Structure 1
Amino acid sequence: MRTDIFARLDREPEPPKIEIPRMSRTRKALFGGTLAFYLAIVVAVLASSSLVILDWKVMLFRPYQQWPELHPFLDYFVVLGQRGPTAVMIAAWLGWRSWRQHTLRPLLALGTALLLLNVTVGAVKLGLGRLGPHYATQIGSAELFAGGDIFPSGHTANAVVTWGILAYLATTPRARRYLSVMSAVVALGVGATTVYLGTHWLSDVLLGWAAGLLILLALPLFEPLIGRAELTVFAVRERWRARRRTTPSTPVASGGPRPAPVSHEASALADEPPCEPVGAGHGGHTGAGLPTGTVTGTGQLTQSRPHAVRSERTPVTPAGSRRPGHSRPMTGG
Structure 2
Amino acid sequence: MAAQYDSGLEAASQNFPEVAAPEHHPYPQQYQQPYQQPYPLPYPHQQPPYDPSATTPKPETTRETPFPEPPSIYGGQTVASPFSGHDRAVAEPPSQPKSAPLRTICGISLLVFILSCIIALLSGAVVGLAAVTGIEAQRANNAASSLAALRSSPTPTATAGPTPSPTAIDDGCADNPDSVDKTVYTSFSLLGALKFTRHCNADAPNPPLLSLFTADFGTCMDACAAWTTYLPRSFDNTANATCHAVSFVPAWTSKATAGAGKAPGNCYLKGGPQNETGLDTPNIGTPCHAAVLLVGG
Q: TM-score, normalised by structure 1?
A: 0.17
Q: Which has the higher helix share?
A: 1
Q: Which has the higher contact order (CA 8 A, sep 6+)?
A: 1
Larger Rg: 2
Q: TM-score, normalised by structure 2?
A: 0.19
